[in-house]
Amino acid sequence: MAYQNLLLEQPEPGIYLLTVNRPQALNALNAATLAELAQAVAQVATDAAARVLLVTGAGDKAFVAGADISEMQQLTADQAGVFSQQGMQVMHALEALPVPVIALVQGYALGGGCELAMACDWIIAAERAVFGQPEVNLGIPPGFGGTQRLARLVGRARALELVITARQIKAEEALAIGLVTQVVPAAELRERGMAVARTIAAKGPVAVRLAKQAVQCGQDLDLAKACAYETAAFALAFATADQREGMRAFLEKRAAKFSGR
Ligand code: CAA
């Protein structure tokens, strides 16, 4: 499929690399880019051979510098609601992908860019990455889930401080508060992402999917229900060829060859 504002590549079997590609606007998310993101996520979701999705931005200056301010400037309240819902749907679709999604953040991840990164399962940041929710500088609150995902990731007080003061933080602070999981030199970001992707691609695909779903669904449940969900996922795995192969390979002291069934 041809995209105007994105690149969707498969550098290796099972590994997708999605690049937001509007470097002239620091990869800002306009409605057309959001529509393409929805299509690209659907393309990955319907590929049974997909194992992992890496999400990044074109150029070294920005991951994504936010929703597109020049496009938002003219919106009525009703149109802004539709635009917010369009962004929310993209973020939900990314989260709902059965395969792990990792954001590779170089440069600015601001506003909708920070929200896009947070909708991924985890974030690997380059040393000079900058994160923030600067929307209040523009007279608006975040609109693609930032108030909610940031609070869930870093806690209520830190989220309130960052959203309400619009303070931007560097990669090291993002690591310290749990917004990102790793900080790497910029020149190594892509290769580090690929290395993690290869690691994931070698695991049992059904197990990876079940584990992702259990963590995500469990977060919105009380502990007893969440653990019951995990039990169901665990039991389900024993109906798969992957479980038999994984355990047989361990006992035979060889690498497992998973089929994803
Ligand atoms: N929307 C549209 N265009 C943007 C943009 C955005 N979010 N961010 C940057 N650009 C454009 C600039 O207008 C500029 O275009 P021109 O060359 O045509 O003038 C180009 O990208 C380069 O940007 P700068 O010249 O500003 O680059 P800089 O290095 O001086 O500053 C920056 C970089 C600090 C990231 C600055 O561009 C900036 O503050 N951008 C806006 C960040 C922001 O406020 N994001 C939140 C948007 S609101 C939102 O996202 C709502 C939501 O939650 C859904």
Supply the pLDDT for residue 68.
98
Record the tokens describing residue 121, joined without a space. Answer: 């399962």
Say if residue 213's pLDDT is above 90: yes
108 lines ligand 1 (CB under 6 A): yes
- Mean pLDDT for all residues in the chain: 97
The alpha carbon dihedral of 43, 45, 50, 56 has a sign of: positive
Fill in the DSSP letter of residue 240.
S
Dist. CA 61 → ligand 1 center (Å): 11
40 to 22, 51, 53, 97, 213: CA distances (angstroms): 16, 15, 11, 11, 21
Q: Per-residue pLDDT tens for 48-72?
A: 999 999 999 999 999 999 999 999 9
Say if residue 19's pLDDT is above 80: yes
Say if residue 240's pLDDT is above 90: yes
Q: Evaluate whether 118 touches 62 at the Cβ level (below 8 Å).
A: no
Phi and psi torsions of 78, nearest 5°:
-65, -45
Dist. CA 74 → ligand 1 center (Å): 16
Supply the pLDDT for residue 100.
98
Say if residue 192's pLDDT is above 90: yes
Say if residue 1's pLDDT is above 80: no
Supply the pLDDT for residue 35.
98
70 lines ligand 1 (CB under 6 A): yes
| Catalytic one of 9, 135, 172, 230 | 135
Average pLDDT on 5-32 reads 98
Average pLDDT on 82-91 reads 98
> pLDDT confidence of 229, banded at 50, 70, 90?
very high
Average pLDDT on 219-236 reads 97
Supply the pLDDT for residue 110.
98
Q: What is the pTM of this model?
A: 0.97
65 lines ligand 1 (CB under 6 A): yes
Supply the pLDDT for residue 53.
98
Nearest 10 degrees: Cα torsion 90, 47, 237, 233? 10
Q: Is-catalytic flag, 36?
A: no
Ligand 1 binding pocket mutation candidate from 21, 26, 73 (most atoms within 8 A of CB): 26
Q: Is-catalytic flag, 188?
A: no
Average pLDDT on 84-92 reads 98
Q: Per-residue pLDDT tens for 144-173?
A: 999 999 999 999 999 999 999 999 999 999
Q: Which atom of ligand 1 is nearest to the CA of 84?
A: 54
Supply the pLDDT for residue 2.
87
Q: Which residues of 158-193 are buried (b: 16+ CB within 10 A; e: fewer)?
A: bbeebbeeeebbebebbbebebbeebbeeeebbebb
Proportion of the chain above pLDDT 90, given as a percent: 99
63 lines ligand 1 (CB under 6 A): no
Dist. CA 112 → ligand 1 center (Å): 11
